[in-house]
Structure 1
């Protein structure tokens, strides 16, 4: 009876695990499958494409022009006639053709570069500030330390939609919304402020697990506080630092609300979430291209996890000191 009950429990446990994994991973498999299809085969049944192709990826990466980006016969005829037109009329015709091509194009690489720059630099600055701030919270005694440390987390009591309007008004009064570059700088500040509280909390708790006797020995040997941070705290805290960087990077990489407020009027500075939203809601939406763009959007995060996985192992201080 005991063995039978144990077998039934094990069977249902693994059945639920497989069901949950299938439920979670199926949409991603379908997304990848559709990205390797032709437009006419986008809604074919099955996960394995009948006619696999890299057409959508080639168009996104600029290796191949899509049919919508190519000039129509009407536009080609207009180009032939434009040579004999008056200068003012010629300018209007060229602007019409250019705007049509621009509307039908999807500058994925530009959006990708903007998102990578914005998320990467803001995450790096957030981590640097968090290291020094968390060290101060965990090692240096000063009045009001506990209140300040807990108060930092109060920012998460308010949702992004509540903070959006006052933040926008503040940056408008500071003149930080007049151009795309200023809008990007505003997003840098917002992303850093948005990720700092959790970064400080995570790193502060991790720094407390490092034995203070290691630092005391280094200080006796002549190390300053800065040298202690660079030579002891950072090497021993790489798992936590990498985790905080990935967290901050993903916040900036996937953020849509503030980006749609500060940089939407400036197409040259659109990030991937804004660009993907544009293509999903445009009249020229193509499912294969949308799925290929979604797959490529997930690639940097996957690469980040794979390259930094070795730093995510804990217990680096085990055996570092004997109490």
Structure 2
């Protein structure tokens, strides 16, 4: 006989659930609210903005210029005056004005592009390597397979702060820190190395759930190993593959430590986490702009989850039980 739960227990349970949801969602609601406000209204009480505006997003995405990005009257007067100065003095004054304007600007779209390229490409390369590696671990018998398979997870025994200095020294010695492009390549390699171990583990567990008889039938029909992977394994493993790609993308998209080490000397290659950190610590920090930037930063991940939800939920549980 099933006992009925006490109404007090039910009310208490749902009260705790509601309080937990409010506690988790309130910071995000406040961030979204501030992003739709004017700078002067950023700290007004209440979640709903009294004077909602889209100007912050328009400025952030380059559809509208901010006051800080426009020349001040004083700077405009300087431009008129330097025309009468010698050429070397003109260059010095122009350099000073451009440096000031550059300091006051926040090239969000450039940071967004850098992060999207690094995260998207590194996740794709990591996924491709992991598909072939996981297939080898799950289907091909070779000496030391178990040792290698367990050994790839050793990297997660050490934190990023421990690996940062050795990795930086390695890339310095091979010349991948001398310019912005080379530092971005070093960051690209690190993101791949960071995500491959778990990707191999997740995909390997999933591949083991696929019956060998399907592959054997394909091989009897004349298919090669590559044909089996591309025509059978990958189509049957889409939930796990998409899950792994989202995982690898999120790791690279949100990564800050290695980006702050490798590309900090090259502002044109800043990623979004590094760029957001700069504006948060800047003397020109504007709360509405910072919150709008944070909201836009979360959009790609949210869109990916919404588009791939059915694959994601299948991939998270697949491979957990082996027959």
Q: TM-score surpassing 0.5? A: yes
Give distance in 2, aligned partners of 1:56 and 1:101.
19
The alpha carbon displacement at 1:196 in A equals 0.4
Q: Secondary structure at the match of 2:45?
A: coil
The alpha carbon displacement at 1:310 in A equals 3.0
The alpha carbon displacement at 1:20 in A equals 1.1
Give distance in 2, aligned partners of 1:257 and 1:313.
30
Tell me the residue number matched to 2:127: 127
Superposition pairs of residues 55-94 of structure 1, within 5 angstroms: 55-94=55-94
Q: Is the 8 A contact 1:176 1:182 kept in 2?
A: yes
* TM-score (norm. length: structure 2): 0.95
Q: Decide whether aligned partners of structure 1 residues 15 and 3 sit closer, same or farther in structure 2, where only a CA change above 3 A counts.
A: farther
Superposition pairs of residues 37-48 of structure 1, within 5 angstroms: 37-48=37-48
> Which structure 2 residue ranges, 5 or more long, are not aligned?
none
Give distance in 2, aligned partners of 1:309 and 1:206.
18
Tell me whether 1:233 sits opposite 2:233 in the alignment: yes
Give distance in 2, aligned partners of 1:80 and 1:125.
52
Tell me whether 1:179 sits opposite 2:208 in the alignment: no
Give distance in 2, aligned partners of 1:232 and 1:102.
53
**Structure 1, residues 14-49: CA drift from partner, whole Å, max 9, x if none?**
222111111111100100000000000000111110
Give distance in 1, aligned partners of 2:271 and 2:281.
16
The alpha carbon displacement at 1:3 in A equals 7.0
* TM-score (norm. length: structure 1): 0.95
Give distance in 1, aligned partners of 2:308 and 2:314.
13
Tell me whether 1:136 sits opposite 2:136 in the alignment: yes
Tell me the residue number matched to 2:276: 276
Give distance in 2, aligned partners of 1:261 and 1:64.
32
Give distance in 1, aligned partners of 2:280 and 2:96.
24
Give distance in 2, aligned partners of 1:112 and 1:239.
27
Give distance in 1, aligned partners of 2:63 and 2:233.
46
Superposition pairs of residues 1-323 of structure 1, within 5 angstroms: 5-314=5-314
> Which structure 1 residue ranges, 5 or more long, are not aligned?
none
The alpha carbon displacement at 1:6 in A equals 3.1
Q: Is the 8 A contact 1:238 1:312 kept in 2?
A: no
Give distance in 2, aligned partners of 1:46 and 1:103.
33
